[in-house]
A and B are shown apart, each in its own frame.
Chain A
Amino acid sequence: MALVRKRPGPALSDSSGALSDPRAALSSPDPEQRRAGAVMLMDVEDAKQLLAEHVAIEQDVVVREAMLTALVGCHDVAAARILATLLRGEDAALRNAVADTLGRMPAAGAIIEELLVDQDPDVRVMSVMLLRSLALPAVPQWLLEVVARDTDANVVGGALGELAEVGDATMISVLERAPARFPGDPFIAFSAAVAVARLRESI
């Protein structure tokens, strides 16, 4: 049994790997240092903007995930605004990860109305997607406004899908009018019918 060996003074008290400056570590050439920096800044509210800036330039997906995890629950509107710019990027994985994170940032509530009227329909689609997890009382009303006014079928289709989950019976008339705004679009007709049926069930 000698081969099951306890380290003399287990490495648990060893703090040699501790980061002295987690903010500076975010700019390290070593990805493990950058990841460790992000993890150490999880509870540092005034580092959120810096973290968001580094998400924008970070190429390593594991480091980026640590940075995004550190931003979940964040109340810093400036950080949310920086992240939101990434919804316009070419990297689909990054766009999805950012939308997922924004949906879990209370600060996103302060900018979501701007995002929902963005000129870029792809940004509006992602914004509807992040409403799924943004737990704010105004979410159903924001979605309803998208259904009533947006001109892009993908955006409206997404909003109809979400309203089927979070809407209520007072919204049915707006939903029923949606197919008329997209004549000949079977996707909108189908999504509206499903949402209306779901909301009727809840009466």
Chain B
Amino acid sequence: MTAGQPARAAALPRRPPARLARGGRRLRWARIVSHGVLLGLGLLAVFPVLWAVLTSLRPETHIYDLTPLTAPTLANYASGLRSYPFIRLLLNTVVIAGSVTVLQIAFALPAAYALTRFRFRGRGLVLALLVGSLLVPAQITLIPDYVIVARLGLLNTLFGVVLPEVGTVGFAVVVLRSSLLDFPTELYEAAMIDGAGPFATLWRVVVPNLRPAIASAAVLVLVSSWNEYFWPLLVTNQLSSMTLQLGLQTFQSERGTDWGALLAMNSLAMLPVALLFLLAQRRITDAFVRSGIR
């Protein structure tokens, strides 16, 4: 009730009635319990991350302490960077995830465009082959994929990691196609009147207008390629083509458990995606949710 309606409020007989008041009190309790549960689960979700980062900031002699951090130090980061080839691993991972993303979008965009814009015989089959490929569990394709990569002489190369990861291009097709289905036909018609061919239309009309969807798809592919573990594990065992995750595992098993250095490198490995997530939280979660996969 605002100040402008006092008379009307006064005229109403004894509002709110008892039943509503009880509901209100119950609602308040439900609210308090909900906040408690959400906060508890939220903290449980991020606690291991925070604990690992916190440990990585402890001085070496206090690594095993269970107390709050008193004197943070970057010593573990310095020693980690000396004993892990972190920069090399980071570069490999950036190149791999970046290439997979660029190739998937470059392949998926024209396909999604053709599937929504052209009517042709076999369109249903093409769509089924691309979408259906996502339903095949990765484990089924591993051995043949490995053999193909080996026969091409691409084991322990960045190409050998990247190319099979582009095989899941159907994923980007699904994401982009669902946006293109809603693409305003007026824009296509305007392009046609301007005399633009199908490719010019794709490049000059679709791409600029579809930027948010392309960005969503790209972020999804980027994050899943960055976090891909299984495939690189199979095809690389050398520093020249290893990803961050494999590097962490390899060097941990070689050097035993220097927990300070390991957790420092672990935290650094997490940093790029974590920053990306904090900067574009809403877009990233929305993209994940809308695609519904991974």
Q: Do A and B come from one complex?
A: no
Residues of A within 8 A of B (CB): none
